[in-house]
Structure 1
Amino acid sequence: MDLKNRTIGFALTGSFCTFKKVMPEVVNLMNEGAKVIPIMSQNAYQMDTRFGKAKEFIQQFEEITGNKVISTIEEAEPIGPKALLDAIVIAPCTGNTIGKIANAVTDTSVTMAAKAHLRNQKPVIVAVSTNDGLSMNAKNIALLLNSKNIYMVPFQQDDPIKKQNSIVAKMDLILPTVKMALSGQQIQPILLGSEE
């Protein structure tokens, strides 16, 4: 399946260490013909970290996609009523955002985008990146795994010795996960062996 004539939302949340891994995946979606609408959580949009400056990520995201970043609840809300997207990717998706989506909390641009999009019964693709995926957030991940129209990018423990509870999606599997999600199928396997 190519992605011509498909519009994909691509949302970044605050797992800043993975931004450089997900930007090439935005390019991959576009190379398959997709129009990509960039979305950033308020933290991703505003915070400078040791991984880079917010302004630089915003500029890169907008230059790659050719579209202005959606960064507020007000900007994200029309995604639903106007049926703007065929799918939305949240990559990286922090444990905080996973917990909010799983428990119907809509207080950021990304959670509003997901909620608004889900009303149209279309896929939300989650690429997890969290230090508590195998502890406090395990229950929320399980809720998402059992939710209609939520699809997970395959994930693994990223450092099982030093960070036993930490999991991260294999970001280079975003494209095939999107393609399968648009056909109503979850890519398999979801659980991968650890990186170590």
Structure 2
Amino acid sequence: MSDSNIVWHETTVKKEERQARNNHKSCILWFTGLSGAGKSTLANALEHTLFARGYNSYVLDGDNVRHGLNKGLGFSDEDRKENIRRIGEVAKLFVDAGTIVCTAFISPFKEDRDRVRELVEEGEFIEVYVRCSLEACESRDPKGLYKKARTGEIPSFTGISSPYEEPENPEITVDSDQISIEESVNQIIAYLVEKNILAKEV
């Protein structure tokens, strides 16, 4: 079937209506950083807090998504780009559904992150740079990946044999090797309140 036969079908319920019923705006919180920086840990801690406060949220985790939607993709530059492209499109659907979606992916290339930003309206893509020194990430090494990368068992490993392009102007920078998870979550919540995505707690 050619693209000319595919027509966008407008939904009856609009994003703004879903947001109004949820009592909060929707957005993508894009957690990026080196392996071991704490992206998934922070994303899940944030979601736990949001859920406890009655907000609609969901975590898309890099490893989890590769078990299904992105199963079969490797870690070449091309596959990494396709991995992020697919996640960006899924995250956009969550925003349309009125949900705060937390995506935890290394997403090493600035171009790919910027492409996801362009999928949604201004203010709906929030880049959260989970900044952590390579030394700290490697000392944590929760999955033993750095050790394998150092011995050549894992080729094209970000931070070792493949580049990581740091965000230039992220909306939020969390120094995960300097502050606690609780402090990091509070930092993000404060930003969401400041930008009127969440209502101010009274």
TM (norm. structure 1) is: 0.44
Kindly indicate whether structure 1 or structure 2 has the higher relative contact order, using CA contacts under 8 Å at least 6 residues apart. Answer: 2
TM (norm. structure 2) is: 0.43
Structure with bigger gyration radius: 2
Which structure features the higher share of strand residues?
Answer: 1
